[in-house]
Structure 1
Amino acid sequence: MGETTTLRHPAPLLGVLGLLTAAAPLAIDMYVPGFPELGRELAAGEPAVQLSMSAFLVGLVAGQLVIGPLSDRLGRRRLLLPGTAAFALLSAFCALMPTAPLLVAGRFLQGCAGAAGLVLARAVLTDRLAGPRLPLYFSVLAMILGVAPVVGPLLGSVIVTVFDWRAVFWVLSGIGLVMLAATWLAVPESLAPERRSPGGPRQAFGSMAELLRQRAFTGYTLALGLAAGAMFVYIGASSYIFQDGFGLSAVQYGLVFAVNAAAMLVAGASFGLASKRVAVPALLSGYLAVGALGALGLAVQALLAPTLAGTWACLAVMLFGIGGVFPAVTTVTQIIGRARAGAASALSGSAAYLFGALAAPLSGTTVGAMAVVVLAAMALAVLALLVARPWRPVTERSFA
């Protein structure tokens, strides 16, 4: 398969697509360090505050499932520009909210708008590029996708310490404006009219059903969603485990978080390099096996006697594996669904956040509780991969 278009210098486009990919994942939990202050100021209990994050995740899933297929019919830029503008506006809206219910509503809408950049960045990349370098390009976006929710609280803690929780949303609004300008200047329409989905919205959304009927696509997508679920369980439980359980200070906990984020970055970078020589499904199998072994190790040492070093090491291994799963699954699902890149991006992207939203409340506050959930998630991810039959060649799905 040749290049879809000739792109001599992909770096500027990749830079903008990376920014579009980062904004929504950052917005998930960047304001978490301000939860106590937010609750006091809005007179809201912990469940109401947590609901604001869940509402964003629901909006992110719903937005991707609507925007992705529609972009196959209407084009990418036509939805990307208003989506980024709405993200900037709704982030400012959240910064001004005087009550918790209004914040929850604003967060849902912010998630819907943020989905535009997330789902369409992958679709644009699929439109513009093909061939052996495609996994390398997807590894860049996937590294951002996987690491942003982990790094978000670190950035948010700095902002909240210097200013307050509302400042986080003003920063996100500023990021939205930068995205809008960058998209206007550097992201031309990538889907030519003759390559768009024929018919109306019904046919556009029907392409998702066609993709889900493909055993390989569904298996790979489920593997990604389950691995992402394990990652979100870690995000939800880690502060309780390392600070309350092992007695680390906020700075020490930040170091643990940063090292584990670095493990995911290293995995994404290694995938991009290894994909030049090794088939992507084989790499995916290896990364998922590493992640599952990390989860198993966590469960074993939790049963014996959990230690700080053991818990940290097992989580780093698990997150390294997950960091490789993100770009690998993104690559294979976008290859399978290249003819309907928006629908393919919507399904794989929404699966990650849907499973994350479902798994996060199960995270618990102890090593043992977390270990049970992440081990179950990673074991199910391995089963989903077997359903996809990664030993078979990855082929593009044709659409009538």
Structure 2
Amino acid sequence: MNVTPATSVHDKTIGRRELVVMVALLMSLNAFAIDGMLPALEQIALELGARDGNQRQLVIAVFLLANGLGCLLPGSLADRFGRRPMLLLSLGAYAVLSTMVAFSQSFNTMLVLRGLQGVLTAGLMVVPTAIIRDQYSGDRMARLMSLVSAVFITVPVIAPSLGQLVLMFAGWRWIFLLLSILALLAGVWVWVRLPETLHPEFRQKLDVPVIVVNMWGSLFNRASIGYVLGTALLIGSVFGYVNSAQQLLGEHFAVGAWFPVVFGGTAAMMAVSNIVNSRIVERFGARRVSHAGVLMFILVSAAQVWAAHYQGDNLLLFLPLMATNLMLLGFLGANFGSIAMQPFAKTAGAASSMQTFIRMFGAAVVGLIIGQAYDGTARPFAHALLICSTLALVFVLFSEKGILFRRLHPPQPKG
């Protein structure tokens, strides 16, 4: 199913390019709520009374865990009431809770508010995927999701620098006030421009048995679940990097004021690879591209382990390897997600909820474990990369019944 421009029961249309940018920026708000405060973690910890270095990571980890848990509900509500209402509710909650976090007076209060923010804004991760699935499928969906990811990934590149810029002129609280303003502007854009993409015949009943059946189907579909679990592990390894980045780069590798540039530079490789993926995925197929990507990820992760043990203080070796890991993720995330969503045209919202919950909550748990394992060296993180990528390959093999590089569908025509 391919629809361009997006149409709806409302008297609205939106072109593909605007849709890609809108969806990417909506998803980016949650990314900004993570990466935008990385330069401020030390200042937040000192002002609000965090006890030790690793505890400051909870500002990030609590949000990630709550965001993953919150993903269980928005998709089913979006299957019943539509995509637009859920997006607008999520954006409103994002703006209100960002403002409340900005005025928090204790570290524990901040963590509670960050948890609430994560739960109530989960729709920004779930609903955009359902919107894309409403209109595209197969390799075409993978191509669109790669373009979305290319825009979305620019946030980790620029967010720490923006956070650092805010800190130059004001305190860390203004970072959260800026997030509130961005959410309000996004809400206006959605209200004015976004059509309702849920097909009327696909609207689901809002009762527990239907929700359970729809989610159960997405959870126990063999062709799908291996890709979902594999994505959770791969993203979890990246979350481990995000959780410990300020300590790993700022303290272990002593990059100091260059932290936003170094962190953003490695993250930028994901944007590049997503753009490349969008150009090649329809030609070679999402399976072939992503299977090659996960095998290469394992090899680079093995090199990370060697470097951590024998060149542990060598920043010039760590950075290219880290950039390569993140680049390879650009050939995995969108493709894995599109393959996993393929069987669920009629229940895209519920499937997106369940899959996003597994990916985000699972990744948050993995990332928290990796972050808390930080011991002043890059070794725990390097071992985690290798373990997570190897297990991801095992799950993919489960979904593919032991055979890699198959292309199950012929190339779809362009246009």
Same fold (TM over 0.5): yes
CA gap 1:202/1:367 in 2 versus in 1, 3 angstroms: same
**Which of residues 133, 144, 156 in structure 2 aligns to 1:137?**
144
1:71 aligns with 2:78: yes
1:68 Cα deviation (Å)? Answer: 1.3
1:41 aligns with 2:47: yes
1:284 aligns with 2:295: no
CA contact (8 A) 1:142 1:330 kept: no
* Distance in 1, Cα, partners of 2:381 & 2:340: 29
1:371 Cα deviation (Å)? Answer: 1.0
Instruction: Show the counterpart of 1:20.
Output: 26
CA contact (8 A) 2:139 2:286 kept: no
CA gap 1:109/1:198 in 2 versus in 1, 3 angstroms: same
* Distance in 1, Cα, partners of 2:240 & 2:56: 18
Seq. identity, %: 25
What per-residue deviation string (whole Å, max 9, x for no partner) do you get for residues 309-344 of structure 1?
221121111111112211111211222222211122
CA gap 1:20/1:120 in 2 versus in 1, 3 angstroms: same
**Which of residues 116, 119, 128 in structure 2 aligns to 1:112?**
119
Tell me the SS of whatever aligns to 1:235: helix
1:16 is aligned with what amino acid?
Answer: M
1:371 is aligned with what amino acid?
Answer: A
2:390 is aligned with what amino acid?
Answer: A
* Distance in 2, Cα, partners of 1:367 & 1:52: 21
CA contact (8 A) 2:138 2:338 kept: no
CA contact (8 A) 1:123 1:345 kept: yes
What per-residue deviation string (whole Å, max 9, x for no partner) do you get for residues 48-73 of structure 1?
64333332112211221111122122
CA contact (8 A) 1:225 1:348 kept: no
1:324 aligns with 2:323: no
CA contact (8 A) 2:224 2:341 kept: no
Question: Aligned ranges for residues 206-355 of structure 1 at < 5 Å?
Answer: 206-251=213-258, 253-306=259-312, 307-355=314-362
CA gap 1:209/1:295 in 2 versus in 1, 3 angstroms: same
Which of 185-194 and 345-354 deviates more? 345-354
* Distance in 2, Cα, partners of 1:199 & 1:32: 39
CA contact (8 A) 2:76 2:206 kept: no
1:354 Cα deviation (Å)? Answer: 1.9
1:3 is aligned with what amino acid?
Answer: N
CA contact (8 A) 2:57 2:244 kept: no
1:304 Cα deviation (Å)? Answer: 2.8
1:383 is aligned with what amino acid?
Answer: V
* Distance in 1, Cα, partners of 2:80 & 2:15: 28
Which of 8-17 and 61-70 deviates more? 8-17
Instruction: Show the counterpart of 1:3.
Output: 2
1:180 Cα deviation (Å)? Answer: 0.7
Which of 14-23 and 133-142 deviates more? 133-142
* Distance in 2, Cα, partners of 1:244 & 1:52: 18
* Distance in 2, Cα, partners of 1:315 & 1:48: 24
What per-residue deviation string (whole Å, max 9, x for no partner) do you get for residues 110-164 of structure 1?
1123211221111111113346532221112233455534643332222222211
1:40 is aligned with what amino acid?
Answer: L
CA contact (8 A) 1:292 1:378 kept: yes
1:45 is aligned with what amino acid?
Answer: R
1:388 aligns with 2:409: no
Question: Aligned ranges for residues 346-365 of structure 1 at < 5 Å?
Answer: 346-361=353-368, 362-363=370-371, 364=374, 365=376
Instruction: Show the counterpart of 1:29.
Output: 35
1:268 Cα deviation (Å)? Answer: 0.7
CA contact (8 A) 2:77 2:206 kept: no
What per-residue deviation string (whole Å, max 9, x for no partner) do you get for residues 180-227 of structure 1?
101101112111332112452431243121111111211000111111
CA contact (8 A) 2:233 2:389 kept: yes
Q: Normalization by structure 2: what TM-score?
A: 0.88
Tell me the SS of whatever aligns to 2:284: coil
CA contact (8 A) 1:127 1:341 kept: yes
Q: How many residues align?
A: 393
Identify unmatched segments of 5+ residues in structure 2. 7-13, 410-415
Q: Normalization by structure 1: what TM-score?
A: 0.91
2:385 is aligned with what amino acid?
Answer: V
Identify unmatched segments of 5+ residues in structure 1. 396-400
Tell me the SS of whatever aligns to 1:373: helix
Tell me the SS of whatever aligns to 1:240: helix
CA contact (8 A) 1:219 1:385 kept: yes
Coordinate RMSD, CA, aligned = 2.2
Tell me the SS of whatever aligns to 1:120: helix
2:339 is aligned with what amino acid?
Answer: V
1:375 aligns with 2:386: yes
1:384 is aligned with what amino acid?
Answer: F
Which of 42-51 and 206-215 deviates more? 42-51
What per-residue deviation string (whole Å, max 9, x for no partner) do you get for residues 284-329 of structure 1?
1112122222111111222333322221121111111112211111
CA contact (8 A) 2:161 2:261 kept: no
